[in-house]
Amino acid sequence: PARTHKHVAHVESPKTTMVDSTPLIPDGKEKKEGHRVLCCCDSRKAVIILNLIALALVIIGLIIRLVDNQYFATWTIILYVLYLFFYSIVAWGALQFGKLAVEWGIFWSIVDMIWTSVYLARNSGWMVEGSLNRTATIVGYSIFYVFHVLIIYANWTYVSEVGKGIMSRETHSREKYSCCCNV
């Protein structure tokens, strides 16, 4: 119901009273609509943090390979460049509240998991031969897959929320959440 008081129209709703009928989002007065990724943070923050962690791990892996003077095949160099590109662009895209870059991140993670699975299937003989520490290798690849699933989950949640209008520059003050920091 609308009422007039001193020539200003007031619109009342169960949640708030606004001076006019514009769809303003009051800061802190509405309930968070988006997900808490792993009960820890909002989807945007999860995308940024997980992709920056992945980026740091790629850089550490590259440094270790350089320090050990390991041979770099052309495909290895291409793979490192792709990792650096995708993790950087996804984190940047989420910082800018973009959707497309994060969608490409989902695509990249799925392709990377498939690529790695094919590589492991084609080269599984070396694990049986015992030339390397089999347990450490299995644990390493298991962590790789779990981490990629977490990245896909965070990216997918973020893309879904952006698509539904839940996460945007305008709604970020309502949606931001963190269990450990208030960034």
Residue 37's pLDDT band, with cuts at 50, 70 and 90, is: low
pLDDT of amino acid 67: 77
Residue 5's pLDDT band, with cuts at 50, 70 and 90, is: very low
Q: Which residues pair with 12 in a beta bridge?
A: 17
pTM of the model: 0.71
Instruction: Give me the helices (H) in the chain, please.
Output: 43-67, 74-95, 100-122, 125-129, 134-163, 172-175
Mean pLDDT across the chain? 76
For the record, the structure tokens of 129 come out as 């031969």
Least confident of 18-32, 61-75, 130-144, 164-178: 18-32
pLDDT of amino acid 111: 93
CA 3 to centroid of chain Cα atoms: 46
Specify the DSSP class assigned to residue 8: E
